[in-house]
A and B are shown apart, each in its own frame.
Chain A
Amino acid sequence: MSLPNPADLISQMATRLKTHLAQRDISEPRYIGIRTGGVWVAQALLEELGSDAPLGTLDVSFYRDDFSQNGLHPQVRPSALPFEIEGQHLVLIDDVLMSGRTIRAAMNELFDYGRPASVTLVCLLDLDAAELPIRPNVVGATLSLAAHERVKLSGPELNLELQDLAL
């Protein structure tokens, strides 16, 4: 299977996000990337948009629902949101949407900072494997992978790689 070129996806996503925000009269959204891949995607997206808006970063390790199975991620870093959340329109950005559990954890964390006016979800790839009723508002591409396949994003220059767990 051939993977899409991330640079092309970013350009399409920027266009769709502009439309999405314009339809809702959102002029000054707050951008938040989910560590680590989501931050790279967010940086590329802001560059494509020609925006110098501050970028918040979220580390959802303390909010994951698999702590009792998998424990704490050893490289947890502080979240940093250089703006208010209360009453703001948020654009939440991640690299790969799979089960939706990361997004649930991220929204739980965001609501501990305040009550946003809205949250728009932007993902580079949707793997069509949702275990929760969570769908992106703007997506670069939707892929269907075999059970033994994973995609991995490396950054910050955005390279996609297909991994085969069966090998």
Chain B
Amino acid sequence: MTPLDTKRPLQLNDQGQLRHFLSLDGLRRELLTEILDTADSFLEVGARAVKKVPLLRGKTVCNVFFENSTRTRTTFELAAQRLSADVITLNVSTSSASKGETLLDTLRNLEAMAADMFVVRHGDSGAAHFIAEHVCPQVAIINGGDGRHAHPTQGMLDMLTIRRHKGSFENLSVAIVGDILHSRVARSNMLALKTLGCQDIRVIAPKTLLPIGIEQYGVKVYTDMTEGLKDVDVVIMLRLQRERMTGGLLPSEGEFYRLFGLTTARLAGAKPDCIVMHPGPINRGVEIESAVADGPHSVILNQVTYGIAIRMAVLSMAMSGQTAQRQFEQENAQ
């Protein structure tokens, strides 16, 4: 460990480039913009007949999913394949973890497979950070969602969606609606919007689904849907995470839908050209009406396409940052 390590965030190398991608916390606006610009270029690649570039040829990307996922896992797989990397996916939730292996033991075994990059999803907040601290130094760790903490690639694909539909962030009103308490997507989105210069970030939720200290993100809190949606440009709906709810946080799903569901009537209070986003999977009739999810304002399926481009950008930038770091260390050693 060099002394520099204490002075810079874990996910950056000595030149300030990405080497892991763990959280949007502490990342500068220029870096987020670079991720969006790079993803724009990968979107163009995705529109070609041959959707593959040779950037990560000979590298091995290992998706390690301690928690179920379809969209995130498959789009990470596609992203790595389109960069010409070799990809393996391990669903640890159904393998060794259930046989009592510790996280570190699993990690050592994966290292022995000489992977260059791990994409990690875990139910515990901070798991990706923990792995990045303990993994051997040349391996890049990408957070594919950790507990309630962060889902940075989802945050960035949401930012790409907004930028491609709305141009810039400064003059937008953005509402994030629903189960904020359990949502790592909400946290990543609030951080990204703030960093990218959005002035009007609103969260709309019942008090039981709002985390304590939400105001520190620089957002306006609404408990009334009609009030909160007034004249917004972007609505980000969240999934009601029933699997993470331990206590009686809601009277019933029907009650939640009646008060916080996104319906055509409610959406009429937003700007006429507003866009509706959702990280998926959507619960029709629980947080969003089918007519809205499939309607003209919905960009939910575009988000999936943009997700591949964002993941290609993050994978290649982190690999690039790892390479630069090794060169830097070699030059310093000489």
Contact = CB atoms under 8 A, between A and B. Distances in A.
Do A and B assemble together?
yes
Given A62-B41, A78-B43, A78-B44, A108 B321 contact: no
B253 interface: no
Given A69-B323, A69-B327, A113-B48, A63 B34 contact: no
A79 B49 CA distance: 14
A112 interface: yes
A62 to B, nearest CB: 4
B331 to A, nearest CB: 12
Contacts of A113: 48-50
A83 interface: no
B50 A112 contact: yes
A76 B37 CA distance: 7
B323 A68 contact: yes
Contacts of A75: 37
B323 A71 contact: yes
A74 interface: yes
Contacts of A109: 53
Contacts of B40: 77-78
A156 interface: no
Nearest to A111: B50
Interface in B42-71: 42-45, 48-50, 52-55
B48 A72 contact: no
A77 B52 contact: no
A112 B48 contact: yes
Contacts of A59: 41
User: Which of under 10, 10 to 19, 20 to 34, or 35 or more describes the interface residues of B?
Assistant: 20 to 34
A61 B316 CA distance: 11
Given A72-B317, A112-B50, A114-B49, A79 B324 contact: no
A74 B48 contact: no
A80 interface: yes
B50 A62 contact: no
B314 to A, nearest CB: 11
Interface in A79-118: 79-80, 108-109, 112-114
Interface string B1-37: 0000000000000000100000000000000001001
Interface string B139-176: 00000000000000000000000000000000000000
B290 interface: no
Contacts of A112: 48-50, 52-53
Contacts of B34: 74
Contacts of A68: 323
Nearest to B54: A63
A71 B44 contact: no
B223 interface: no
Contact of B321 (A61, A71, A77, A114): A71
Interface of A: 59, 61-63, 67-72, 74-80, 108-109, 112-114
Given A78-B41, A113-B48, 9 more contacts: A62-B41, A62-B316, A70-B323, A71-B324, A72-B316, A72-B317, A76-B37, A76-B38, A114-B49
9 contacts: A62-B45, A62-B54, A70-B323, A71-B323, A74-B34, A76-B38, A77-B37, A108-B54, A114-B49
